[in-house]
Amino acid sequence: MMDNKDTLNRLKSIAGHVHGIERMVEEDAYCIDVIRQIQAVQAALEKVSTRILDNHLNSCLITAVRGDDPEDRERVLKEISEVFATASKI
């Protein structure tokens, strides 16, 4: 379901921005400018993460919940719970 090409393009763009931040630090750029770029990368990563999670919920999770294997259902639900628990620690 997920458009992997679009996701990969977004990740490559993010990587380019991270390299730009590295250059900024090497060139001793103004701190606030560096922070703003870091925040932009964080927002872009969050957007990619949200897209991937949405895809997972609408494919893997639904398949497992509708399936006949109770262990598979429990595994997928536990994974989702762990993802949200980890996110709340950040």
Q: What is the CATH number of the domain that holds 76?
A: 1.20.58.1000
The structural domain count of the chain equals 1
Give mean pLDDT, residues 74-80. 92
Per-residue HEC secondary structure of the chain comes to: CCCHHHHHHHHHHHHHHHHHHHHHHHCCCCHHHHHHHHHHHHHHHHHHHHHHHHHHHHHHHHHHHHCCCHHHHHHHHHHHHHHHHHHHHC
Q: Which residues span the domain enclosing 10? A: 4-89
Q: What's the pLDDT tens digit per position in 4-28?
A: 999 999 999 999 999 999 999 999 9
Read off the pLDDT of residues 40-51 as tens digits, 9 standing for 90 and up. Answer: 999 999 999 999
Confidence of residue 90 (pLDDT cuts 50, 70, 90): confident
> Is the model's pLDDT at 1 over the cut of 60?
no
Share of the chain above pLDDT 70, in %: 98
